[in-house]
Amino acid sequence: MTLNQAAAERRFNPEAGVGPSGRFAPIARPDLSFTAEVREATAPVYEKVKHFIPEIEWAVLAPMIHAINKLKKERNAVILAHNYMTPDIYHGVADIVGDSLQLAIEATRTDADVIVQCGVHFMAETSKILSPEKTVLIPDMKAGCSLAESITGADVRALRERNPGIPIITYVNTSADVKAECDICCTSSNALQVVESFGVDKVFLIPDKYLAANVGNKTDVEVLVWDGACEVHERFTAQELRDYRQIEPDVKIIAHPECPPEVVAEADFAGSTAHMIDWVKTKRPAKVMMITECSMADNVASETPGVSYIRPCNLCPHMKRITLSKILDTLLEMKEEVIVDPAIAEKARTAVERMINLNS
Ligand code: 13P
Ligand code: SF4
């Protein structure tokens, strides 16, 4: 029996019981002892994270990693994890890691029955929009985003009414309702390309006013903004970066484009989380400062020996809601399922697929 057949049987066999998602039987909690088998199976992961996770903590995390990796097979599930996940998730249980664009593309490619989205809610919604037939789970339904919360579908309708004929591009960090009202989606990886794809002289790029301003600085297209911001990146200041350079004159500073433009102007490079990682892997600076969420440097450090990371960073409280123990519960109990109204999903899919098609 293939994994897919086994999963289908579990889902539709009434004898198997019905889990909270309505289709899956819950699985009993496994023994979480740090046995010799667990130690051996997780040793390659520990090699990557040992600089951040003390052995005493590993004894608690390793059994969860081992159990999650077994459960993924039983559930025919794939874990899509954003680059801001902690190293135990990023190196221990993720099948695919990446920025928002990469995760959206991978959601269309996987043949797993179940996607466990380790990231924030809009990312899980994007996966559901692209794969309506799949079960999409998020380990914590409260993992939100200040950008997604800054705008509603009704706001976009009003914006369009006041500005007829101007294309509205939505950053992927928005709800399905908002995506459904917009012409196309973008991520920080492709925002400039999307803005220029219309061939017009004026577009809206909502809701991140800083991303919009940073893109506007690179193009002749007038980029109109919405007054939203990322609560993590807006806290960095240009003065802070200048101060760091005084202390560490040879440091390379790379920033996420959700930072204010004056911060981006002080940086040596700005790009999406994936582009930031690629930049460090390619350029191999002796010292680097990643002006973004804290887990980025931890995750990339084990893959870039010889690079030393200077770590001013800000934690995203929403991303940090996702933990190994919640991922374990997610796969055991098949909760919490992300549902998108099919009519909204269909409209939102058009916006997301237009973006993906631009990249292919
Ligand atoms: P990326 O698409 O660059 O990964 O950004 C997502 C995000 O939420 C950054 O704050
Ligand atoms: Fe949203 Fe900012 Fe957190 Fe990214 S880092 S999920 S933009 S609040």
Residue range 13-65, pLDDT digits in tens: 333 333 445 578 889 999 999 999 999 999 999 999 998 899 999 999 999 99
Q: Of 208, 228, 248, which residue sits at a domain end?
A: 228
Q: Point out the ligand 1 atom lying closest to the alpha carbon of residue 83.
A: 4
Q: Counting every residue, how long is the chain? A: 360
Considering its fold, how many domains does the chain have in total?
3
d(CA 223, CA 118): 31
How far away, in angstroms, is 172 Cα from ligand 1 center? 9
pLDDT at 104: 86
CA of 135 to the centre of ligand 2 (A): 24
DSSP three-state, residue 240: helix
**Do 13 and 95 belong to one domain?**
yes
215 & 287 share domain: no
The DSSP-derived string for 74-140 is: HHTEEEEEETTS-HHHHHHT-SEEE-HHHHHHHHHH---SEEEEES-HHHHHHHHHH-TTSEEE-S-
Q: Whose CA is nearest to atom 8 of ligand 1?
A: 173
Identify the domain containing residue 297 by its residue range: 233-309
Whether residue 128 is found in the same domain as residue 55: yes
Least confident of 3-17, 89-103, 123-137: 3-17
Do 17 and 126 lie in a common domain?
yes
Enter the pTM of the model: 0.91
Q: Which atom of ligand 1 is nearest to the CA of 98?
A: 4
Q: What is the pLDDT of residues 86-109, one digit of tens each?
A: 999 999 999 999 998 899 889 889
Boundary (domain end) residue, out of 165, 194, 228: 228
Res 24: pLDDT:
86
Task: Confirm whether 349 is domain-assigned.
Answer: no
- Domain assignment present for 359: no
Same domain, 221 and 249: no
Q: Is residue 351 part of a domain?
A: no
How much of the chain, in percent, has pLDDT values that exceed 90? 88
In a domain, 360, yes or no: no
**Ligand 1 pocket check for 299: Cβ under 6 Å:** no
Q: Is 100 close to ligand 1, i.e. is its CB under 6 Å away? A: yes
Same domain, 264 and 198: no
Which ligand sits nearest to residue 187's alpha carbon? Answer: 1
- Cα 295 to ligand 2 centroid, rounded to whole Å: 13
Claim to verify: residue 126 and residue 205 sit in the same structural domain:
no
Q: Is residue 83 part of a domain?
A: yes
Q: What is the CATH number for 207?
A: 3.40.50.10800
C-alpha 38 to ligand 2 mean position (Å): 34
Residue bearing tokens 């380790």? 118
How far does the chain reach from its first CA to its final CA, in angstroms?
35
Considering the domain boundaries, does residue 265 fall inside one? yes
83 lines ligand 1 (CB under 6 A): yes
The reply to whether ligand 2 has any atom less than 6 angstroms from the CB of 211 is no
* In-domain check, residue 87: yes
Domain membership flag for residue 347: no
Ligand nearest to the CA of 145: 2
pLDDT at 101: 84
Q: 93 and 186: one domain?
A: no
